[in-house]
Structure 1
């Protein structure tokens, strides 16, 4: 290679070196600029933090509601099971009440001193005792409110009467006893209730017996 060609190449490289350096510097500064542009601000970070806390609180609230709903469901199910267990015999108990009534009426009607009547009474009394034992075993209780204040929740008033010496609104006679099963009314007691005596009207003329 001649000296002129070498000088020419050297001159080209020398002239191109600043451009290459400038391009390399620009390429080095580009990632830094892009990184600076991509770096989130404090406000953006705070917004993301607030959003994350909000979502976390919503998740906690949802979990608490789910636990509460499951607990309420468990309690309702438990109450339904207990209720079904306590009142499973309700229809059967109601079917037994006329049997009890018939035995009581038959015992009341069995009067006389003949041996046949006595045997009938003994057999009926024994049957009644056995039936009453079954009632007690399954918490079937009698409602016999004679002499007690009238209770509309357990008594059915068939009529009201003025009874001398009886407190008004007091049960003075029981036509038919009532029954409850574990506190639930199976049948109300049919009763007669005392009422207050009527006061004489002011318009009623007073009769002078000495006239």
Structure 2
């Protein structure tokens, strides 16, 4: 056998059909993808609804905060109102008892202001500040120019913010 003989063919192994059964068909793959897409869509809808609920609850909380922001302060003022009504209910009053009642009521009011960060601004002798004061006029004075000489009406701040500026007279200067 010198190589002139025809080569005997060896049987070629054919692909096994067993592998075909493990690969899902296109329809099965499509159904699986549809299910996954539906799950993602459902999760997205739930997340969107939760976001809307959070936004709605936050708006309700803000609304309630605006509505009841003065509740604590109003509660403090009720004691002042009660004191004023009690003073008016007394039939026979002397000037001294009336004055002492008014002084006690004023102390209650000042206490309510302090508890709620409502502070009085009485700027006599301070430099004029247009953010805290409102000048009504200028007067001749020995004090330095633009210094508050007279306070016609006290101002008020709430939490370091001007609620009402003090009405003042300012020095013209020398």
TM bin, normalised by shorter chain, reads 0.3 to 0.5
Which of the pair is proportionally richer in helix?
Answer: 1
Structure 2-normalised TM-score? 0.48
- State the structure with more CA Rg: 1
Structure 1-normalised TM-score? 0.41
